A and B are shown apart, each in its own frame.
Chain A
Amino acid sequence: MKAYGKWLILALSLIVLTALVSACGGGSNTGSAAENGSGAPANAGQKAGKKTYKWFVARGVDSPPAVTVKEIADEFSKTHPEFELVLEGTGDRPSYLQKLRTLIASNEMPAMFDTDPDAYASKLVEKGKLVDMKKLLQDLGKYDAFRPVALQYQQFADGSMYTLPIEYGIEVFWYNIKMFKDLGLEPPKTFDEFLKVAETLKQNGITPIAVDGKDKWPVLRYLAFEPFRMTGNDFIENVKQGKASFKDPAGMAGIKLVHELGTKGYFQQGFSSTDYTAARDLFLAGKTGIYYMGSWETMNFANDKLSAEIKDNIGFFRLPMMDGAKTAENDYFINSGIGVAFNQDTFDDTMKEFVKFLLEKYPEAYTKKGQFSPFNYSLDQAQGMPEVFYKIQDEIAKSGSVFAVPWDTRLDPATNELLGNELNALALGAHTPDDFADLMDQAIKENAPKYFK
């Protein structure tokens, strides 16, 4: 045996090697033939003068914004045969971010990708990797074509802007008109009235509010409502760095509201495990009276899939007011969604032409899909949109210039994670408001200094 040892190892490793090599050949015969030698997904392909640009989308390639941009890109390709836009993406944010960061770390930044103006994006800006969107829009004379809030939302704290907004949404409380009428309820104007309405619904055996507790952000909105009314965005901007405390009146007001809504049973049973679709469907099935969500859902409140009693029976009211509020009635949560960043290295004349073309075509194409665009653009009655669409469109035209910022885009990641997890516990009554405030202050004290250096 022993004498053969060396020879055998050699022979076996040879066999293994040949097996490996042939496996490489055999396993990849399904790969796309379009792959070019460099394997670069973002850069121009080597097909006879074709330039292929990739947009890595964070919203699913079937979402209205992605579909609209793709349609316009295909139209652009007709006059610019060398241009081609390829979309890849997913609506699942964690796996999107994981892949995006891998791509960028491997020097394969896509020509276009979606990002919020967060800490990661600002690092890319520092390295000069992104196109200055503010400058570009001013060059193209399009800066004023946008709603001011849409652009503000995309800005970094210093007022610079590197992402293009392609969505626009205001957030309102949708309510079941018939249900309110039957119980003689009016849409509430203040938080006190809001709680009274919830109590009345509850007394009559109806779950007052449907909320998506699984995705965390909808419950987080409830925490932010009263602080926004009392201080604008000052509270969150200060508290995130420990310059304010959750024990402050604004913080406690927010905490108490969530605690009350949850412990009094104003949210549906099992809200902490209800997902986005299920929460919306509860409301659309007429099982709850109120549902807080953005205007992107508008067309789902007016389609033919709804039962007759719900259809044409959905109204909305604004974020309630309170005494001594610092923000106006028409100030509430407004956002222009996750923006599109452009890779500086692949931004050539063709791409610039395309952006120009996109800005021309996008507002109309997008709005006709029943969506609200970040541009100053509206459809008139003749377009035959559902009534609720026009109502929201009017509301958007009337909305104020101070908008509430989502807390999860402001806090450091560790605190954010904790807040998301503990907030449902607060609503379920596992924390008292005071304990919760202490818990959050403690978390900020630990995590904020490291993050906001």
Chain B
Amino acid sequence: MNYSRYSKAFLAVISFVLLIIQVYPLIWVFISSFKAPTDFSSSNPLSLPSRFTFENYLSVWRKGNLGTYFSNSLIVAVTTIALVILFSAMAAFVIEKMRFKWAQSVLFLFLCGIMIPIQVVLIPLFILYNKTGIINTLTSLILPQVGFALPISIYLFVSFYKYISNEIMEAAVMDGCGIYQVFWRMIFPLSRNTIVTVVVMNLIFIWNEFIFANTFIHDLSSRTLPVGLMDYIGQYGLTDWGATYAAISITTIPTMLVYFIFNKSVISGMTAGATKG
């Protein structure tokens, strides 16, 4: 990488501009969440708050449901992700390393799931969940999301396992590992980066999932954040922006944290196969 000083400076400027374009909206929402109600009506939307106030956050907590929504979202996200990782890592292992007759067809069958739009399954699922009585519970949000996340996750794991040489597994078997020990002691720890990639990729979708949550949940007590944010939309489109921005800030912080913590692994998980550790 021998750039001249000028092109380095040029690159830095370009990256900085891109960074501003990407990050500024988030910053703006965050700053706006500290504005007093009068700031929204009387001053330029791009201006800073006249005084920093926590009123909006207080009114959000006073509304009282955000905590419930938050914990519901958390339960749904964590459970869904855990199941997705477990199922897709195992399925991919079988498809890629066990070499049974129908391996490719099974993979193809899973990948067909990518083509199914959510809206198509909405009514059948509603009827099914209603009959089995899990409608209006968090289970009705976890199940379909696990299903929809599987294809792409399995695909990621399969393409990663291609890079793991069979010799390692043979060596392990020689040392007396069974299939499960091979999987849990070797393959699973090796796929750390892929796991992180799958987690982060799916987390965004699951955290922001709206259609299932809007359709299957009737009670406040089982609502998740995206549906909960609609509490701030009144009749005729009347919106309490201060409180909305505060709620949005609270909602987006977890996903951003996950990104900040894992971003290195995500990039290597996406690009490289067998980067070990």
Contacts and interface: CB of A to CB of B under 8 A. Distances in A.
A275 B233 CA distance: 12
A91 B233 contact: yes
Contacts, number: 154
Interface in B72-108: 72, 75, 79, 83, 86-87, 90, 94, 98-101
Contacts of A4: 179
B127 A106 contact: yes
Interface string A41-64: 100000000000010000110110
A30 B215 contact: no
B177 to A, nearest CB: 13
A23 B75 CA distance: 12
A9 interface: yes
B166 to A, nearest CB: 10
Interface in A96-134: 98-99, 102-103, 105-108
Contacts of B222: 30-32
B109 to A, nearest CB: 14
Contact of B123 (A1, A32, A37, A102): A102
A215 B211 CA distance: 22
Contact of A35 (B127, B137, B231): B137
Contacts of B215: 98-99, 102
Given A32-B222, A37-B133, A284-B41, A275 B237 contact: yes
B25 interface: no
B133 A35 contact: yes
Interface in A1-38: 1-2, 4-6, 8-9, 12, 15-16, 19, 23-24, 26-28, 30-32, 34-35, 37-38
Interface string A283-311: 01101000000101000000001010000
B139 A24 contact: yes
Contacts of A108: 126, 130
A28 B138 contact: yes
B138 A285 contact: no
Contacts of B154: none
Interface in A368-399: none
Contact of A63 (B45, B230, B235, B240): B235
Contacts of A281: 40-42
A106 B235 contact: no
Contacts of A8: 94, 98, 179
B164 to A, nearest CB: 15
* Interface size grouping (class) on chain A: 35 or more
Interface in B221-245: 221-222, 227, 230-231, 233-241
B273 interface: no
B49 interface: no
Nearest to B123: A105
A51 to B, nearest CB: 17
A277 interface: yes
A323 interface: no
A276 interface: yes
B148 interface: no
Contact of B239 (A16, A39, A99, A277): A277
A88 interface: yes
Contacts of A238: none
A98 B211 contact: yes
Nearest to B83: A23
A149 B230 CA distance: 32
Contacts of A1: 98-99
A338 B244 CA distance: 25
A285 B41 contact: yes
Contacts of B236: 91, 215, 276, 294, 296
Interface in A255-285: 275-278, 281-282, 284-285
A344 B136 CA distance: 24
Contact of B126 (A32, A63, A102, A275): A102
Nearest to B82: A23
Nearest to A287: B42
Contact of B237 (A5, A40, A91): A91
A88 B223 CA distance: 12
B37 interface: yes
A1 to B, nearest CB: 7
Contact of B230 (A5, A12, A27, A95): A95
Most chain A CB neighbours (cut-off 10 Å) among B101, B211, B215, B238: B238
A441 interface: no
A103 B130 CA distance: 10
Nearest to B221: A32
A185 B249 CA distance: 45
Given A8-B98, A41-B218, A19 B83 contact: yes
A422 to B, nearest CB: 20
A90 interface: yes
B174 to A, nearest CB: 13
Contacts of A16: 87, 90
A287 B40 CA distance: 13
Contacts of A88: 218-219
B188 interface: no
A27 B142 contact: yes
B126 A215 contact: no
A90 B137 contact: no
Nearest to A281: B41
Given A1-B98, A8-B94, A305 B37 contact: yes
A1 B166 CA distance: 12
A226 interface: no
Contacts of A9: 94, 100
Nearest to A90: B230
B142 A276 contact: no
A386 B41 CA distance: 22
Nearest to B241: A277
A91 B230 contact: yes
Contacts of A35: 133, 136-137
A92 interface: yes
13 contacts: A5-B99, A19-B83, A38-B133, A41-B218, A91-B237, A91-B238, A92-B230, A98-B211, A105-B126, A106-B130, A215-B237, A276-B239, A296-B236
Given A32-B136, A91-B235, A277-B240, 7 more contacts: A39-B133, A40-B130, A60-B231, A102-B122, A102-B123, A275-B237, A276-B236
Interface of A: 1-2, 4-6, 8-9, 12, 15-16, 19, 23-24, 26-28, 30-32, 34-35, 37-41, 54, 59-60, 62-63, 88, 90-92, 95, 98-99, 102-103, 105-108, 212, 214-215, 275-278, 281-282, 284-285, 287, 294, 296, 305, 307
